Amino acid sequence: MIGICAALERAAWSVWDQQAALLPLSYVEAVQRAGGLAIMLPPDESLVANPDPALELIDGLMLAGGADIDPAFYENEPHPETVDTVPERDAFEIALVRGAIARDMPVLGICRGMQLINVACGGSLLQHLPERYGHHEHRRVLGSFDGADHDVVLSDGSAAEGAAGEASHATKSHHHQGVDRLGEGLVVSGVSTLDDLPEAIELPEKRFVLGVQWHPEADPASRVIGAFVDAARRSVDASDSGAAKLEASGAQHPAGDRVTPLSKARRERV
Backbone phi, psi, residue 149, to 5°: -75, 135
CB neighbour class for 41 (10 Å; exposed up to 12, middle 13-18, buried from 19)? buried
Q: How many residues does the structure list for the chain?
A: 270
**Could you confirm whether 215 is annotated as catalytic?**
yes
**Could you confirm whether 217 is annotated as catalytic?**
yes
Active-site option among 93, 111, 161, 202: 111
- Packing angle between helix 224-248 and helix 262-269, nearest 10 degrees? 100
Tell how strand 198-202 and strand 187-192 pair up: antiparallel
CB neighbour class for 220 (10 Å; exposed up to 12, middle 13-18, buried from 19)? exposed
Nearest CA to 178 out of 136, 224, 228 is that of 136
Active-site option among 93, 199, 202, 217: 217
Distance of alpha carbon 93 from alpha carbon 42, whole angstroms: 9
**Could you confirm whether 150 is annotated as catalytic?**
no
Catalytic residues: 111, 215, 217
